Every structure is written in C-alpha cells, then in structure tokens.
Amino acid sequence: MTIQFSTKVLPDSDFKGPKAAAAICGLSGDCLILGYRQSELSQLQALDDLLGGAIAQARNLGDLDGKAGACTLLRSNHAWALSRVRLKRILLVGLGDKESLTDFAKIARSALKQVSGGAIESVLWHTASFLGKQKANQSPVALRERVHLLAQIVGDQVYRFGVRQDQFKTKPVEKADSLKEFTFITSTKQASLMKSAVREGAALVEGMNLTKDLGNLPPNVCTPTFLAHTAQNLSKKSSLKVQVFGEKQIEALGMGSFLAVAKGSETPPQFIIMRHDGGRANEEPIVIVGKGITFDTGGISLKPGEAMDEMKYDMCGAASVFGAMHAVSILNLKKNVIGVVPTCENMPSGRATRPGDIVKSMSGQTIEVLNTDAEGRLILCDALTYVERFKPKAVIDVATLTGACIIALGHVHSGLFSDDEALVKDLTKAGHQSLDTVWRLPLDAAYQEQLKSNFADMANIGGRPAGSVTAACFLSRFAEKFRWAHLDIAGTAWKSGVAKGATGRPVPLLLSFLLDQ
C-alpha cells in the first residue's frame, strides 16, 4: 500500500492564540497529532476552549503527564460540534525533556502506533508542536531530518509485503493498515522547505518499499532475470537508463570471478547497470554497487539447513541499490548516480566451483577459492573493476557480506570500511541523520596477510579471525583506482523470527548521503 504524503499551510501554524486554535480546529481529518510538554500545557488554553474543556478534563484525570511518547486520544463530542470543530480526533503526545533525533523517533513511533490498525485513514501532524524548545533556532537541516525520519516511520508502519495484499496467501490473515493520507501542518514561513522535505521523504518511502518487496519475494520468483526485468520496468517509468548484460556478455568482459559463482546454477547471471544522468555531462558520477545473490546455498561449501530460507535475503545489497536509484529518479536529483548490480544464484551442482579452484577476475588477478560460501566478494570484485570506466567521484558497495559482521555489530549498525576519511565522515553523518547508522571497522594493511595463497594472487577467505575485515580487505584490492567505501549490511538488511522481513536499510543512509553531496 502506498501512503500519500502532503503539506498543509496555515498562516500561523502555532496553537496558542484563538485565531491559530480556530484554524487548527477548522481542519478536516480523522486525527490531528499534537505534541506537548507538561510545562507548556497552559499554552493549549485557546484550543481547549474550542474543545469544550476536553484537555482540562484529561489533565484533571491525570492523563496528561507529559512523559515522552505518552498518548491521550480526545474524540469529537457534542461540545466540539458546538464549537464547529471539524476534526474527529486529537491525539496529544507527551514530548518529555529530551530532544535528540532518537528520542523524536521513539515519540513518533508511539504516536503512530495509536492511530494504526483502526478506522483512521487521514492523519494531520502538527509539525511546530514537535520541534525543540528553541523553536526559533531550529535549523532547516534538523527540520528536514525529522520530516524524512517521520516519513520513514510512517512508511514502515503501513508497509505490507507485495504489490497485492497477501499475494502469496489464499486467505489473507492480516488486515492492511487503514492509514492512507499523512499531512504535515506547517507555517507560511517554512512552506517551501517543508514541501521539499516531504517530497524527499515520500521518495524515500517509495525506495524502501521497493527494497523490502524485492528482499521479501521468494527466491523462485526473485531470480537474476526478475531483477533485470524490474530494472527495465523502472526505466519505462522514470529517467533511469538501464543496461543488462547476459552470460555471454559477462564472459566477454572477462568476469571470471563472477561467473565462477554463477556456473553452479541453471539460472543465468545478469549484470545490471542503472544510470541517472541528472548532473552536468562531464560531472563524475557517484556509483553504488549491490551484491545480488538471489539465493545462497553456500555452493559446494554448503550452509547448514537451519534458517537457510533466509538466504533469499542475500540480494538485499542489490535491493537497496534498486531502492536508492528509484528514489533518486523520483526526485530527479541534480547529480549523476549509477547503480550497478551483479546478480546470480550460488548453487551446488556438477558444474559448481569447488574449494581449491583458481579463477581469474576481470582485473587479471587470480583468486584461490578456499570456500565457495564466500561468494559475494567474488561477484563484487568484478563489478568494482567494471566501474573504473565511469571515472567515479566515489564508489560505495553494499552487501550482506559476512556473518562475522553480525557477531561484531549485531543488528544495530551496518559495518563501514574505508580508508577515505572524507567518505567515512560523510557516510557516518548520513547514518546519524537518517538513524540508519554505521560503525567504522578497521581496514589495516596487516589484515591483508591473511589472504595470502600459495597458488594464486590471493585467497577468497582469510580464516575465522576478523572475517568481516578480511572480506573488506579482499574488495579493497579491486578498488584502488577510486574513492571507495564498503557497507556490510548482513546484520541490518532483514529481521528474523516473528517480524521476519526486509528492513529497507540502508536506503535511508544512501539517500541521505546522496542528497548531501
């Protein structure tokens, strides 16, 4: 389901005076969400007068304690009608004392949970009431961050898998969220900024939804060919220019490392390039590369059977590139961005690459394959060599690369590897802005020693110690001709258990990074 985001401008978007309160009550919608602090309840007097004392009554009953995320729902009654109040409900949300972006996210989730799953279809969000105490000093950047984050939270709440509700179930078991319209109330002064921020937030949600859908699709549907068709369909609806190389073209390019992974499967590999030429003709592009293993059995180095179904998520790096490029095209971003996706299955068969085989990469470097389950780096290394031709401003590869990264960072931060300090700073900042956070891990030359091979230029694994680091070190050997960063999203791209499903990360991080460049 797609949520509709919009803005509504009030000459005075505050709620303190009678005129402002009357303007708010004159809005039509299923629910207005209004933030308050315990110390500022007296400022709601004009609004309370129009509501027939409903706020004072809630306060006397002890329902308004101002704690962060505490919600009190006021419903329309006879007194409201006499006051010509068009709103059906007002949700008062306590803001507490803290003002960080993380605190704001918790408060927003708490508020939106109250309007979820019922009859509420249209929500109005009173933006000014959720700003910090120093409202006059609220920077445009901070406001934009909160709008993006709120759109993301709303998108997460209403998301249901698939283009059609329960498209793989004969009997739907979960009711779709009722919320269809989300309107940001803003002032005349901030109208232009809000309109732009809401547009970006809406594009972010569209991109994340695509990423989630692709990740959640079963692997018998979401094949490399399906991803290629998805890219081609995107190009029909947007500014994206798409090229797809099949197996023969991949072979002609000399991508022996990529093909070594693909050859165990009956499903042919695809190499997908999506271009958004929004900048100047001679402008160096930013390139994002996504690992697209649509199902990973481990190959001959077969994985344990438990939870192997989740290996359909091994293409979440590719899915996030699709999502980011989709958002970029919706916004018609005024810069050049290229998304590159090498995609195949990693299957065991009589044709599959064996542990001990030596393969030749597109760069000419040879690789001893000690473990066929370390396949993501084998397809990414050829993609990294390929993107040299774009003379990129920067390259970011995104991959569910190592279980070792989950051991190191759990499911909170994505792993960030780079020797480029400016790139690290920009990506870390984008992570903080979007709450799609990263944690920098080392890339010291000393770890390269673990990749030594007696028989080839390098081995594809460096043993158990520092597994995520040696994987990044392997990729760094193919990224020496441009500024480069690697994101290991193995712990953040999807959730297991009851909440099983793709998260849409790191699309918020990537879009925030691209918007800031």
Instruction: Tell me the two tokens of residue 28.
Output: 């039509």
Q: How far apart are CA 76 and CA 278, in angstroms?
A: 48
Among the options 8, 303, 360, 440, which is catalytic? 303
- Token digits of residue 91: 């949700």
Q: What is the pLDDT of residues 437-472, one digit of tens each?
A: 999 999 999 999 999 999 999 999 999 999 999 999
Distance (Å, rounded) from C-alpha 130 to C-alpha 108? 9
Instruction: List the Cα angle 412/416/422 in 5-degree steps.
Output: 130
Q: Are 161 and 212 in contact (CB under 8 A)?
A: yes
User: Catalytic: 88?
Assistant: no
* Residue 217 structure tokens: 């699709």
Q: What is the pLDDT of residues 349-370, one digit of tens each?
A: 999 999 999 999 999 999 999 9
Catalytic residue among 275, 335, 377, 477: 377
pLDDT, one tens digit per residue, over 249-280 is: 999 999 999 999 999 999 999 999 999 999 99
> Is 86 an active-site residue?
no
141-180 residue pLDDT tens = 889 999 999 999 999 999 988 655 457 877 765 666 789 9
pLDDT per residue as tens digits for the range 189-226: 889 999 999 999 999 999 999 999 999 999 999 999 99
Following CA atoms 149, 154, 157, 161 in sequence, which dihedral angle do they give, to the nearest 10 degrees?
A: -90
